[in-house]
Structure 1
Amino acid sequence: MDNISTTTLTMKREFSVTPERVFDAWLNPEMMRKWFFTLEGTNKVAQNDPQVGGTWEIVDHREGKDYQALGEYLEIDPPNKLVFTYKMPQFSELEDTITVELKEISAGCEMTFTQLIHVSPEEGWTQTDIEKALGEYHDGTEHGWNLMFMGLKELLETGEVSYKG
Protein backbone atom coordinates (compact mmCIF):
# COMPACT_ATOMS: atom_id res chain seq x y z
CA MET A 1 0.00 0.00 0.00
CA ASP A 2 2.60 2.49 -1.05
CA ASN A 3 1.62 5.66 -2.81
CA ILE A 4 -1.18 6.62 -0.41
CA SER A 5 -2.23 10.27 -0.51
CA THR A 6 -3.68 12.02 2.53
CA THR A 7 -5.67 15.10 3.41
CA THR A 8 -6.76 16.38 6.82
CA LEU A 9 -10.29 17.43 7.73
CA THR A 10 -10.69 19.56 10.87
CA MET A 11 -14.07 20.67 12.21
CA LYS A 12 -15.08 22.49 15.40
CA ARG A 13 -18.47 22.31 17.10
CA GLU A 14 -19.90 23.70 20.34
CA PHE A 15 -22.41 21.94 22.55
CA SER A 16 -24.32 23.33 25.53
CA VAL A 17 -23.48 20.27 27.64
CA THR A 18 -20.39 19.14 29.55
CA PRO A 19 -17.40 17.50 27.84
CA GLU A 20 -18.28 14.31 29.75
CA ARG A 21 -21.68 14.10 28.00
CA VAL A 22 -20.12 14.57 24.55
CA PHE A 23 -17.37 12.04 25.31
CA ASP A 24 -20.00 9.50 26.44
CA ALA A 25 -21.94 9.97 23.17
CA TRP A 26 -18.87 8.77 21.25
CA LEU A 27 -18.55 5.57 23.34
CA ASN A 28 -22.00 4.57 24.60
CA PRO A 29 -23.56 2.09 22.11
CA GLU A 30 -27.10 3.29 22.92
CA MET A 31 -26.09 6.84 22.06
CA MET A 32 -23.96 5.76 19.08
CA ARG A 33 -26.89 3.97 17.42
CA LYS A 34 -28.78 7.28 17.24
CA TRP A 35 -26.16 9.42 15.49
CA PHE A 36 -22.79 7.79 14.69
CA PHE A 37 -22.80 6.61 11.01
CA THR A 38 -26.39 5.50 11.51
CA LEU A 39 -29.84 6.39 12.77
CA GLU A 40 -31.85 4.42 15.27
CA GLY A 41 -34.36 3.32 12.61
CA THR A 42 -31.73 1.98 10.18
CA ASN A 43 -29.18 0.66 12.69
CA LYS A 44 -28.48 -3.08 12.72
CA VAL A 45 -25.35 -3.11 14.91
CA ALA A 46 -23.82 -0.61 17.33
CA GLN A 47 -21.17 -2.21 19.49
CA ASN A 48 -17.86 -1.28 20.96
CA ASP A 49 -15.20 -2.18 23.45
CA PRO A 50 -14.06 1.29 24.60
CA GLN A 51 -10.52 0.58 25.72
CA VAL A 52 -7.17 1.04 24.00
CA GLY A 53 -6.93 -1.84 21.54
CA GLY A 54 -10.70 -2.40 21.71
CA THR A 55 -12.84 -2.15 18.60
CA TRP A 56 -16.08 -0.49 17.55
CA GLU A 57 -18.52 -1.36 14.77
CA ILE A 58 -21.63 0.18 13.25
CA VAL A 59 -23.80 -1.53 10.62
CA ASP A 60 -26.43 0.65 8.99
CA HIS A 61 -29.09 -0.73 6.61
CA ARG A 62 -30.27 1.66 3.89
CA GLU A 63 -31.90 1.11 0.52
CA GLY A 64 -31.47 -2.65 0.79
CA LYS A 65 -27.75 -2.54 1.61
CA ASP A 66 -25.67 -2.92 4.76
CA TYR A 67 -22.96 -0.32 5.34
CA GLN A 68 -20.29 -1.27 7.88
CA ALA A 69 -18.03 1.23 9.65
CA LEU A 70 -15.45 -0.08 12.10
CA GLY A 71 -12.23 0.73 13.84
CA GLU A 72 -9.94 0.38 16.82
CA TYR A 73 -9.40 2.68 19.79
CA LEU A 74 -5.84 4.04 19.94
CA GLU A 75 -6.17 6.54 22.83
CA ILE A 76 -8.92 7.16 25.38
CA ASP A 77 -8.47 10.06 27.81
CA PRO A 78 -11.89 10.88 29.32
CA PRO A 79 -13.31 13.44 28.86
CA ASN A 80 -10.58 15.21 26.91
CA LYS A 81 -9.42 13.11 23.97
CA LEU A 82 -10.39 10.11 21.89
CA VAL A 83 -8.30 8.69 19.01
CA PHE A 84 -9.48 5.79 16.86
CA THR A 85 -9.18 4.26 13.42
CA TYR A 86 -12.03 4.23 10.95
CA LYS A 87 -12.71 2.31 7.78
CA MET A 88 -15.62 1.14 5.66
CA PRO A 89 -14.37 -2.19 4.21
CA GLN A 90 -16.99 -2.30 1.46
CA PHE A 91 -15.36 0.79 -0.08
CA SER A 92 -11.68 0.56 0.90
CA GLU A 93 -9.27 -1.30 3.16
CA LEU A 94 -7.53 1.97 4.01
CA GLU A 95 -7.88 3.12 7.61
CA ASP A 96 -8.32 6.78 8.50
CA THR A 97 -7.38 8.13 11.93
CA ILE A 98 -9.87 10.27 13.84
CA THR A 99 -9.04 12.46 16.83
CA VAL A 100 -11.76 14.04 18.97
CA GLU A 101 -10.60 16.67 21.48
CA LEU A 102 -12.99 18.20 23.99
CA LYS A 103 -12.57 21.24 26.19
CA GLU A 104 -14.86 22.98 28.59
CA ILE A 105 -16.01 26.48 27.63
CA SER A 106 -18.37 28.86 29.41
CA ALA A 107 -21.31 27.77 27.24
CA GLY A 108 -20.57 24.05 27.67
CA CYS A 109 -18.09 22.20 25.47
CA GLU A 110 -16.03 22.75 22.34
CA MET A 111 -15.21 19.72 20.22
CA THR A 112 -12.34 19.71 17.73
CA PHE A 113 -12.66 16.83 15.29
CA THR A 114 -9.75 15.86 13.03
CA GLN A 115 -9.77 13.08 10.43
CA LEU A 116 -6.68 12.05 8.51
CA ILE A 117 -8.23 10.85 5.23
CA HIS A 118 -6.31 8.34 3.12
CA VAL A 119 -6.88 7.94 -0.62
CA SER A 120 -5.29 5.26 -2.77
CA PRO A 121 -4.71 6.61 -6.27
CA GLU A 122 -5.90 4.41 -9.10
CA GLU A 123 -3.52 3.26 -11.82
CA GLY A 124 -2.83 6.01 -14.32
CA TRP A 125 -3.93 8.88 -12.11
CA THR A 126 -2.08 12.15 -12.57
CA GLN A 127 -1.22 14.53 -9.74
CA THR A 128 -4.29 16.56 -10.80
CA ASP A 129 -6.48 13.44 -10.48
CA ILE A 130 -5.10 12.77 -7.00
CA GLU A 131 -5.70 16.36 -5.87
CA LYS A 132 -9.25 16.24 -7.27
CA ALA A 133 -9.95 12.96 -5.44
CA LEU A 134 -8.53 14.32 -2.18
CA GLY A 135 -10.77 17.38 -2.51
CA GLU A 136 -13.84 15.24 -3.20
CA TYR A 137 -13.10 12.89 -0.29
CA HIS A 138 -12.50 15.89 2.01
CA ASP A 139 -15.72 17.67 0.99
CA GLY A 140 -17.84 14.52 1.02
CA THR A 141 -16.48 13.50 4.41
CA GLU A 142 -17.08 16.99 5.81
CA HIS A 143 -20.68 16.90 4.55
CA GLY A 144 -21.30 13.52 6.20
CA TRP A 145 -19.80 14.55 9.54
CA ASN A 146 -21.73 17.84 9.45
CA LEU A 147 -25.00 15.88 9.25
CA MET A 148 -23.86 13.54 12.04
CA PHE A 149 -22.78 16.45 14.26
CA MET A 150 -26.16 18.15 13.79
CA GLY A 151 -27.75 14.91 15.03
CA LEU A 152 -25.27 14.66 17.90
CA LYS A 153 -26.01 18.24 19.00
CA GLU A 154 -29.75 17.60 18.89
CA LEU A 155 -29.39 14.32 20.78
CA LEU A 156 -27.23 15.87 23.51
CA GLU A 157 -29.27 19.05 23.90
CA THR A 158 -32.84 17.69 23.46
CA GLY A 159 -32.51 13.94 24.11
CA GLU A 160 -33.47 12.81 20.61
CA VAL A 161 -32.64 13.13 16.92
CA SER A 162 -35.57 14.36 14.84
CA TYR A 163 -33.98 13.57 11.44
CA LYS A 164 -34.92 10.01 10.48
CA GLY A 165 -33.02 9.62 7.20
Structure 2
Amino acid sequence: MTTDAPLVLRIARRFDVTPERVFDAWLDPAVAGRWLFATPGGAMQRVEIDARVGGGFLIAEQRADGLASHHGRYLELDRPRRIVFDFWADPGDADDPARVVIDIAPAADGCELVLVQHLPARYADYADRTRNGWTTLLANLARTLDAAPAATHSRETSA
Protein backbone atom coordinates (compact mmCIF):
# COMPACT_ATOMS: atom_id res chain seq x y z
CA MET A 1 0.00 0.00 0.00
CA THR A 2 1.43 3.37 -1.00
CA THR A 3 1.36 6.28 1.40
CA ASP A 4 1.13 8.72 -1.53
CA ALA A 5 -2.45 7.80 -2.46
CA PRO A 6 -4.90 10.65 -1.85
CA LEU A 7 -7.67 10.25 0.67
CA VAL A 8 -11.15 10.68 -0.83
CA LEU A 9 -13.76 12.46 1.28
CA ARG A 10 -17.42 12.54 0.20
CA ILE A 11 -20.07 14.83 1.66
CA ALA A 12 -23.67 15.06 0.44
CA ARG A 13 -26.20 17.78 1.25
CA ARG A 14 -29.74 18.44 0.12
CA PHE A 15 -30.89 22.00 -0.65
CA ASP A 16 -34.42 23.35 -1.01
CA VAL A 17 -33.45 25.64 -3.90
CA THR A 18 -32.70 25.14 -7.58
CA PRO A 19 -29.40 23.68 -8.77
CA GLU A 20 -28.69 27.04 -10.47
CA ARG A 21 -28.85 28.91 -7.15
CA VAL A 22 -26.51 26.44 -5.47
CA PHE A 23 -24.08 26.52 -8.41
CA ASP A 24 -24.06 30.32 -8.59
CA ALA A 25 -23.47 30.65 -4.82
CA TRP A 26 -20.02 29.12 -5.33
CA LEU A 27 -19.05 31.66 -7.99
CA ASP A 28 -20.74 34.93 -7.02
CA PRO A 29 -18.30 36.88 -4.79
CA ALA A 30 -21.11 38.69 -2.93
CA VAL A 31 -22.75 35.39 -1.98
CA ALA A 32 -19.61 33.27 -1.52
CA GLY A 33 -18.17 35.83 0.88
CA ARG A 34 -21.05 35.18 3.26
CA TRP A 35 -20.50 31.43 3.59
CA LEU A 36 -17.45 29.98 1.79
CA PHE A 37 -14.61 29.62 4.32
CA ALA A 38 -16.45 32.07 6.61
CA THR A 39 -16.34 31.40 10.34
CA PRO A 40 -18.51 32.87 13.12
CA GLY A 41 -15.72 34.95 14.67
CA GLY A 42 -13.95 35.91 11.45
CA ALA A 43 -14.06 39.04 9.33
CA MET A 44 -13.95 38.51 5.57
CA GLN A 45 -11.10 40.52 4.05
CA ARG A 46 -10.98 39.51 0.37
CA VAL A 47 -13.25 37.58 -1.96
CA GLU A 48 -11.88 37.41 -5.49
CA ILE A 49 -13.47 34.99 -7.93
CA ASP A 50 -12.58 34.67 -11.61
CA ALA A 51 -15.37 32.24 -12.57
CA ARG A 52 -13.99 30.64 -15.71
CA VAL A 53 -12.05 27.51 -16.51
CA GLY A 54 -8.43 28.47 -15.82
CA GLY A 55 -9.57 31.26 -13.51
CA GLY A 56 -9.41 31.00 -9.78
CA PHE A 57 -10.36 32.33 -6.40
CA LEU A 58 -8.85 33.85 -3.30
CA ILE A 59 -10.96 34.03 -0.18
CA ALA A 60 -9.23 35.50 2.86
CA GLU A 61 -10.73 35.90 6.31
CA GLN A 62 -9.17 37.50 9.37
CA ARG A 63 -9.49 35.12 12.30
CA ALA A 64 -8.33 35.30 15.89
CA ASP A 65 -5.20 33.29 15.03
CA GLY A 66 -4.35 35.25 11.85
CA LEU A 67 -5.33 35.60 8.22
CA ALA A 68 -6.75 32.41 6.70
CA SER A 69 -6.39 32.42 2.90
CA HIS A 70 -8.01 29.85 0.62
CA HIS A 71 -6.95 29.59 -3.02
CA GLY A 72 -8.34 27.66 -5.95
CA ARG A 73 -8.08 27.15 -9.70
CA TYR A 74 -11.17 26.17 -11.71
CA LEU A 75 -10.78 23.12 -13.92
CA GLU A 76 -14.39 22.54 -14.92
CA LEU A 77 -17.54 24.68 -14.76
CA ASP A 78 -20.74 23.15 -16.13
CA ARG A 79 -23.66 25.24 -14.89
CA PRO A 80 -25.65 24.07 -12.98
CA ARG A 81 -24.26 20.54 -12.72
CA ARG A 82 -20.59 20.53 -11.88
CA ILE A 83 -17.69 22.53 -10.48
CA VAL A 84 -14.18 21.11 -10.27
CA PHE A 85 -11.30 23.04 -8.77
CA ASP A 86 -7.86 22.55 -7.31
CA PHE A 87 -7.67 23.94 -3.78
CA TRP A 88 -4.95 24.93 -1.32
CA ALA A 89 -4.65 27.01 1.82
CA ASP A 90 -0.88 26.92 2.27
CA PRO A 91 0.91 28.77 -0.57
CA GLY A 92 3.48 25.96 -0.58
CA ASP A 93 0.74 23.51 -1.64
CA ALA A 94 -0.09 25.26 -4.93
CA ASP A 95 2.01 22.69 -6.82
CA ASP A 96 0.27 19.74 -5.13
CA PRO A 97 -3.27 20.92 -4.34
CA ALA A 98 -6.34 19.06 -3.21
CA ARG A 99 -8.93 18.40 -5.92
CA VAL A 100 -12.56 19.25 -5.16
CA VAL A 101 -15.42 17.97 -7.32
CA ILE A 102 -18.92 19.32 -6.76
CA ASP A 103 -21.84 17.63 -8.49
CA ILE A 104 -25.31 19.14 -8.23
CA ALA A 105 -28.36 17.14 -9.30
CA PRO A 106 -32.00 18.18 -9.39
CA ALA A 107 -34.19 16.54 -6.76
CA ALA A 108 -37.80 16.89 -5.69
CA ASP A 109 -38.24 20.44 -4.36
CA GLY A 110 -34.57 21.36 -4.78
CA CYS A 111 -31.31 19.62 -5.44
CA GLU A 112 -28.60 17.45 -3.97
CA LEU A 113 -24.96 18.47 -3.86
CA VAL A 114 -22.21 15.89 -3.57
CA LEU A 115 -18.77 17.23 -2.75
CA VAL A 116 -15.77 14.96 -3.16
CA GLN A 117 -12.33 16.11 -2.06
CA HIS A 118 -9.18 14.26 -3.02
CA LEU A 119 -6.95 15.16 -0.10
CA PRO A 120 -3.20 14.71 -0.60
CA ALA A 121 -1.86 11.83 1.51
CA ARG A 122 0.26 14.17 3.64
CA TYR A 123 -3.00 15.56 5.08
CA ALA A 124 -4.53 12.21 6.04
CA ASP A 125 -4.41 13.19 9.73
CA TYR A 126 -6.73 16.12 8.89
CA ALA A 127 -9.43 14.01 7.19
CA ASP A 128 -12.01 14.29 9.99
CA ARG A 129 -11.35 17.99 10.44
CA THR A 130 -11.65 18.53 6.67
CA ARG A 131 -14.90 16.55 6.46
CA ASN A 132 -16.34 18.52 9.40
CA GLY A 133 -15.22 21.77 7.78
CA TRP A 134 -17.00 21.04 4.49
CA THR A 135 -20.10 19.85 6.37
CA THR A 136 -20.20 23.13 8.30
CA LEU A 137 -19.61 25.18 5.15
CA LEU A 138 -22.45 23.42 3.31
CA ALA A 139 -24.75 24.14 6.28
CA ASN A 140 -23.65 27.79 6.03
CA LEU A 141 -24.48 27.71 2.32
CA ALA A 142 -27.96 26.38 3.07
CA ARG A 143 -28.57 29.18 5.61
CA THR A 144 -27.26 31.78 3.16
CA LEU A 145 -29.51 30.55 0.36
CA ASP A 146 -32.53 30.37 2.67
CA ALA A 147 -31.94 33.98 3.74
CA ALA A 148 -31.34 35.40 0.24
CA PRO A 149 -34.08 35.89 -2.33
CA ALA A 150 -33.65 34.20 -5.69
CA ALA A 151 -31.95 36.34 -8.32
CA THR A 152 -34.21 37.77 -10.98
CA HIS A 153 -31.72 37.03 -13.74
CA SER A 154 -29.65 34.05 -14.71
CA ARG A 155 -25.88 34.21 -14.64
CA GLU A 156 -23.98 32.52 -17.43
CA THR A 157 -20.73 30.74 -16.71
CA SER A 158 -18.55 29.59 -19.56
CA ALA A 159 -17.11 26.13 -19.51
TM-score, reference length from structure 2: 0.84
Contact 1:75 1:83 in 2 (8 A): yes
Question: What corresponds to 2:138 in structure 1?
Answer: 149
Q: Provide the alpha-carbon RMSD of the alignment.
A: 2.2
Question: What corresponds to 1:79 in structure 2?
Answer: 80
Report how many aligned residue pairs link the two structures. Answer: 146
In structure 2, C-alpha distance between the alignment counterparts of 1:39 and 1:20, rounded to whole Å: 25
Q: C-alpha offsets along residues 51-106 of structure 1, whole Å, 9 cap, x if unaligned? A: 01001111110015111110100000000000001001157453000011011111
Question: What corresponds to 1:55 in structure 2?
Answer: 56
Question: What corresponds to 2:157 in structure 1?
Answer: none
Question: What corresponds to 1:115 in structure 2?
Answer: 117
Deviation at 1:119, TM superposition (A): 2.9
In structure 1, C-alpha distance between the alignment counterparts of 2:69 and 2:15, rounded to whole Å: 28
Question: What corresponds to 1:14 in structure 2?
Answer: 14
Runs of 4+ in 1 over 2 A off after TM superposition: 90-94
Q: Percent identity?
A: 30
Which structure 1 residue ranges, 5 or more long, are not aligned?
A: 121-132, 161-165
Q: C-alpha offsets along residues 100-136 of structure 1, whole Å, 9 cap, x if unaligned? A: 101111120100110000033xxxxxxxxxxxx62x3
- What code does the residue aligned with 2:127 have? H
